[in-house]
Amino acid sequence: MNPPLVSICTPTYHRPVLLERAIRSVLAQTVRDFEIVITDNSENEESAQVVRRFNDPRIRYYRNGENIGVLNNIKKVASLAEGKFLVVLLDDDLLKPKSLELRLAAFGRHPSAGIVMAPMELIDSDDRRIFPRFYLFRKMHYRYRFQAGDGLIGRARVLKEFLVHDYPCCVPSGLMYRGEAFRQAGGFDTKSGFALDVDLAMRIAVHYDFYYIDEVLSSFRYTPISLTAAMHSGGSDVAVFYYITRKTLGDAEAMKLFPPSEQGKLERDSLFFCSCRALALNGMAGVRARNGKIILQTLRLIFREDPYWWNKIRLPWFVAREICLSFVPPAKPLPRQ
């Protein structure tokens, strides 16, 4: 048999109801040439029973012999993909009906693109649109709204965004990978922890452009028991930010994208961005949990990992700026729905 055009890769664990909704969102696509690969960490048969009820030959289901953990499960399911393009659809997220069609069309128009990305709406456990406050004050209307309007983004610009400004994309459900780019980059690195999707995107950006579609093509589920919610309230291993950044800064091919005269500043600003991300994520988690230990441990990490004294001086200004910006509504026009 010919390999499928698209592989939808879904790692799952004890969420049969949400898994069924995720599968239905794939089966509702306007593009039909795909496979759904599911790897299951569950100890019971509930997810397997969901798959059997669909009775669709395009679904390949694998039950892990043991719970191999969320990161290894993501890595495993992606390694089983046979398609020319890949989407890692987390088991609690959803795709819009034209998600595959529009991304494939973008890849067809832009052979230099390794990733096609699009903003994600946020939904609750009942699939209703929500606007949670991620950082105490700021409402999150969309995840990863990169710009107003579609467009090809050159790899140097994309990589610099990842290093010093903000993540253009992250959650894998909102992305489609060119299989060639995914495999050339080496797939997911579990040492990157919860940021393994960011790390992979940065490695792909070294060799490929990205294409952005300014239309909501997927739904990100945010609930009190979701992994993201847990990170926002309990803290995270934010040392991975420094790990993935130093990997990029130490990559000779990546550094060729930037003039030698700018590389010293790029390193300083990149480590500052790591410190900002670490403090924003764990600082807010510490405030929410009323746990000063989380904040103190994060500050110690920042002072250990970021050697630039100027970065430490300007860090309080970053905090003040973020608080002020959190009261300002988004100025961009809304993406297409």
Q: What is the pLDDT of residues 216-239, one digit of tens each?
A: 999 999 886 666 655 555 678 999
Is the CB of residue 96 less than 8 Å from the CB of residue 30? Answer: no
Residue 325, pLDDT score? 66
User: Could you identify the residue written with the tokens 């300007």?
Assistant: 314
CA distance 176 to 81: 13
Sheet holding 94-95, edge to edge: 94-95, 218-221, 120-123
Residue 13, pLDDT score? 96
Question: Could you tell me which residues come within 8 angstroms of residue 285 by beta carbon, excluding any fewer than 6 positions away?
Answer: 231, 232, 233, 234, 235, 236, 291, 294
CA distance 73 to 59: 17
Is the CB of residue 198 less than 8 Å from the CB of residue 158? Answer: no
Choose which CATH entry (3.30.470.10, 3.30.1280.10, 3.90.550.10, 3.40.50.300) describes domain 6-223: 3.90.550.10
Residue 192, pLDDT score? 96
Q: Which residues of the chain have pLDDT under 70?
A: 1, 134-138, 224-234, 323, 325-334
Residue 244, Cβ density class (10 Å: 0-12 exposed, 13-18 middle, ≥19 buried): buried
For the chain, the first-to-last Cα distance in angstroms comes to 36
